[in-house]
Amino acid sequence: MKTKVTEKGKWERELEVEVPAERIEAAVAKAVKDYQRRLEIPGFRKGKVPLTLVERRYGEAIRQSVVSELLPALMGEAAQAENLVPAAPPRITKLDYQPGQPLSFAANLDIWPEVQLESYEQLKATRLVHTVSDEEIDRQLHELQGRHATEETADLPLSKGDVLIADLQRLDEAGLPIVGERYEERYFIIGNENAPSPQFEEALLGIKAGEERQVFFSYRDDLPDKELAGKQERFGVQARQVRQRTLPALDDEFAKTVGESFQTLAELRQHLSQQLERQWEYLARQRLRSDLVSDLIRKNSFDLPAGLIDNYLDSVHRREQGHHDHDHDHDHDHDHDHEHDHDHEHDHEHSEEERTFAVRRLKTFLLIEALRKQTKIEVDDEEFEAFLQQRAAEHNLDPEALKRSPRLDDLRQESLEDKIFAFLAEQAELEEQAV
């Protein structure tokens, strides 16, 4: 195989390839024989059609198929011979093939950028500092208390703290039912501080089972869903049941019902405090890493090939579609697929927000990888063992079970990233911020 590389841009290369005729003809001969074994033509037994007849009738189609199937492998072989790592599927620009002649083709491809870090010291970042308060623990306890509440149907007007089971019918502006907008046996805990529409609940206070009311449902302005925030709708509400809730006493017996490992309320409070501390530590770690990455990108400016960005976004889109179609979750931090597929149309148009996200993820990967190589940071077996022990303790798992996990390689990568970010943080200019 003959190859030639021409630099077309900073990260774009043209790869010209010539494959000896003998290699192509050998693949074609094998394909013709395979086709002969499967072919059925009147007057001949299966597999006994003469090769000359197969070649005369189907030779051209078989040759086209062979070339099409060989191209990705040939492309990969040629790229490897020239030490090129494609960042996206190469784009075939020229293809020339005649039976008995060498196959020649050319392709344009974007290669993975080679990044040299100019600066990774004194990055500016914020370290969040939080002290878990008794009020936070109390809120967690009250949430647990609510989950363990008992309910009893009561022939009484609806009050705060009660449960309402009701049928809802959405109404138009004239108060007429909207077809297809009826919702039966909906469950409401009245007086919940996170209720999407406190006005709706206020309007239902005093209602009894069997009674109907028309009320407005005004969504709170601070809802995360901006399309619903502040929106007002009208409903006809028919009460089915009013249930009185009884909350368990917050004592040692309650703690035992929450989990076998708790013997006292104090132990449960301590557990909740540790949970909250871990949550805040996680938030602080994510904020710190985000700041470090942002400043690392700012201090080390470089462009990415457009094909790399498109390929990354297409792979994310395909993975999300796969999750949706097959209803299973299999996520990776980075998707860097080096397979040499045929040239393809992009799955869909990507928004500017998506492209910004992709650029940040890809630059983060390239910069962290460059930092690892330049500083020669590695995780030895002893350090990885300590990482696994800590992870097991945090999630109440058996360390030996973690070692048998199919995610062991991912965990080793996480431990490496932890060490790299710890290295960056040690040399960074950190500002503590109490939250």
Last residue of a domain, one of 246, 268, 296: 246
411 and 283 in one domain?
yes
204 and 64 in one domain?
no
350 and 263 in one domain?
yes
Residue 127 lies in a domain: no
How far is it, in rounded angstroms, from Cα 61 to Cα 211?
A: 75
pLDDT along the chain (435 residues), means of 10: 93 95 92 83 78 83 92 95 92 92 95 90 96 96 94 95 96 93 95 84 94 91 80 93 96 94 96 95 96 96 90 87 58 41 53 93 95 94 94 86 90 95 96 95
Pairing of strands 103-110, 91-96: antiparallel
238 and 155 in one domain?
yes
pLDDT number for residue 329 = 44
390 and 347 in one domain?
yes
**Other Cβ atoms within 10 Å of 235 Cβ, number:** 22
Give 3-state DSSP helix, strand, coil % of the chain, rounded to 5.
45, 20, 35
The pair of three-digit structure tokens given for residue 35, joined into one six-digit string? 């086709």
323 and 429 in one domain?
yes
Q: Which domain holds residue 217?
A: 150-246
Burial class (CB in 10 A: 0-12, 13-18, 19+), 287: middle
Task: For residue 4, give the nearest of 90, 79, 91, 109 by alpha carbon.
Answer: 79
How far is it, in rounded angstroms, from Cα 293 to Cα 219?
A: 37
Q: Where are the beta strands (DSSP E) in 35-160?
A: 91-96, 103-110, 124-129, 150-153
Residue 232 lies in a domain: yes
pLDDT number for residue 82 = 95
Beta partners for residue 187, in sequence order: 165
57 and 189 in one domain?
no
pLDDT number for residue 348 = 60
Residue 116 lies in a domain: no
Rg of the chain, C-alpha, whole Å:
32
Question: For residues 220 and 197, is the Cβ–Cβ distance under 8 A?
Answer: yes
Residue 125 lies in a domain: no
Q: Convert 369-382 to b/e letters by CB count within 10 Å (16 or more is b).
A: ebbbeeeeeebeee
275 and 187 in one domain?
no
410 and 270 in one domain?
yes
Residue 123 lies in a domain: no
pLDDT number for residue 127 = 96
Q: Where are the beta strands (DSSP E) in 45-140?
A: 91-96, 103-110, 124-129
Report the CATH number that the domain containing residue 79 is assigned in CATH: 3.30.70.1050
Q: Which residues, 6+ apart, have CB-to-CB distance to 392 below 8 Å?
A: 398, 399, 401, 402
**Other Cβ atoms within 10 Å of 84 Cβ, number:** 19
How far is it, in rounded angstroms, from Cα 309 to Cα 88?
A: 9
pLDDT number for residue 331 = 43
422 and 307 in one domain?
yes
184 and 281 in one domain?
no
Last residue of a domain, one of 90, 110, 130: 110
Last residue of a domain, one of 193, 215, 246: 246
Total domains present in the chain: 3
Task: For residue 241, give the nearest of 342, 156, 353, 356 by alpha carbon.
Answer: 156
Residue 141 lies in a domain: no
Report the CATH number that the domain containing residue 158 is assigned in CATH: 3.10.50.40
The pair of three-digit structure tokens given for residue 105, joined into one six-digit string? 């083709």
pLDDT number for residue 334 = 43
Model-wide pTM > 0.85: no
How far is it, in rounded angstroms, from Cα 129 to Cα 280?
A: 8
